[in-house]
Amino acid sequence: MLKVLAGCVLASGVLAGCTTAASPQHDAAQDSAAIEAALRQWPHDFNDRKLPEVCGLFAADVVLSYPDSPDRRHDAFCDRMAALFKDPARKFRYAEPDIKEILVDGDLATVRLFWTLTVTDTAGAALETKVEDGLDVFRRQPDGTWKIHVSHAFTKD
């Protein structure tokens, strides 16, 4: 460790210009593009009721917060999605997200976006449309993929 620190520049009492093999440099633009691609694929998977793919965007230790609901963990979220997909009276459909901003910093990223969910009956008549204002924190996984670690969604009424 001292060899690594000796190679760093000390400026104003703060270590600057330090990188080690344990913390590889990543391309923020590529990371942002990968996150955006995953978010744009998600509504297609949801609308096609592909439960493993829908759940796969979320890390095993995810915390999902939604108004008027207790926070959910991964298993509870996936159980909820499975129940929605089996609902015989209603169909749930997400439009492509309106991504406002993706900020990548190392192995963490935040995304500010809006989701539009439409609920229809068996005849296809719209029962409800909700716009969800979301803020997600993504974390790079050991395999290099990005998954949501914290998700906050708020309905716009």
Annotated domain spans of the chain = 26-155
Contacts for 22-28: CB closer than 8 Å, 24+ residues apart: 23/106, 26/104, 26/106, 26/107, 26/140, 28/104, 28/105
SS3 70: coil
In the three-class reduction of DSSP (H, G, I as helix; E, B as strand; rest coil), residue 37 is classed as helix
Q: What is the pLDDT of residues 92-132, one digit of tens each?
A: 999 999 999 999 999 999 999 999 999 999 999 999 999 99
For the chain, how many helices (H) and strands (E)?
Answer: 4, 8
CATH architecture of the domain with range 26-155: Roll (3.10)
φ/ψ of 49, rounded to 5, equals 60, 40
Structure tokens at 8: 């760093």
Q: Is the pTM of this model over 0.85?
A: no
Instruction: Please report the pLDDT score of residue 66 as a whole number.
Output: 87
The contacts of residue 121 (CB under 8 Å, 6+ apart) are 89, 90, 91, 127
Give the pLDDT band of residue 157 (cuts 50, 70, 90). Answer: low
Q: What are phi and psi of 24, to 5 degrees?
A: -65, 155
Find, among 58, 40, 72, 60, the residue nearest to 147 by Cα: 58
